Homo-oligomer: A and B are copies of this chain.
Amino acid sequence: DKPLTVGGHTLSSRLIVGTGRYDTMEVMRDSLHQSGAHCVTVAVRREKLYDRTGQNILDFLDLERYILLPNTAGCYNATDAVRAARLGREILRTLENPGADWVKLEVLGDTKTLLPDPVETIRACEELAADGFQVLCYTSDDPVTARRLKAAGAASVMPAGSPIGSGQGLLNQNNLRIILEYLKDDDPDYPVIIDAGVGTASDVSQAFELGADGVLLNTAIAHARDPVRMSRAMQAATIAGREAYLAGRIPKRLYATASSPEEGVISSRPYGSQPL
């Protein structure tokens, strides 16, 4: 398997994890470590630097190890999202982190459901792509919107499995299949990353089994009872799902009639006698 390449970056893991919603910075740091992620996403704000206990997230991120992916979380229109993306670029340049040239774009419809707004997302994607960003676009699982985002210049389209933080996994595999068909037709290496909705390890594996190139998640780890352990689970699920996809699964059947397996049988017949 070749590694995942998105925008200009080649990542050593197909799992991308968020940095929000952890109880403590220490748990976050240890969870990121156990997840095996190479890329971690961070929210950009002008006004905040320290958390409620006076700690700075940058003290807990090993910048030698991780490529940061700034995201526009908390933006509800294209203008705010574009501004946040530019601010993130500025900050990451100061940090000399290679993630300065890309952004995870999310433009949400409202604070209640955190569902993406397709119209504002397309608008912001066009503007950021024109400004030279490698745009990774969070979107719903609507296939036509996904195709429009690719056409708008997105470096990766990242459809939701289900609403952010809902833990419902992949609700509409039919739509995800059509998105993969749309975006990879004549362009098989175009990266499609499932972002949002993961609840547990098998959801991650299912995303890869469908043919996704990557998975981005946050709450499923950060709000698990034991986030560090769940990170290990997610790393293993990434390998499990990707390898299963590449290995080619058996088809589903109502039932499978007995064949007569010649192998796998032991017998009391004396070893050395002639085969039939």
Contact = CB atoms under 8 A, between A and B. Distances in A.
Given A164-B256, A174-B171, A236 B233 contact: no
Interface in A83-138: 87-88, 90-91, 109-119, 122
Contact of A57 (B50, B114, B265): B265
Nearest to A145: B118
Looking at A42, A56, A175, A247, the one whose CB has the most chain B CB atoms below 10 A away is: A247
Closest 6 CB pairs of A and B: A225-B248, A165-B256, A20-B264, A50-B275, A19-B264, A109-B144
B200 A209 contact: yes
A18 interface: yes
B249 A200 contact: yes
Given A114-B257, A122-B119, A269-B48, A236 B240 contact: yes
Contacts of A43: 261, 264-266
Contacts of A259: 21
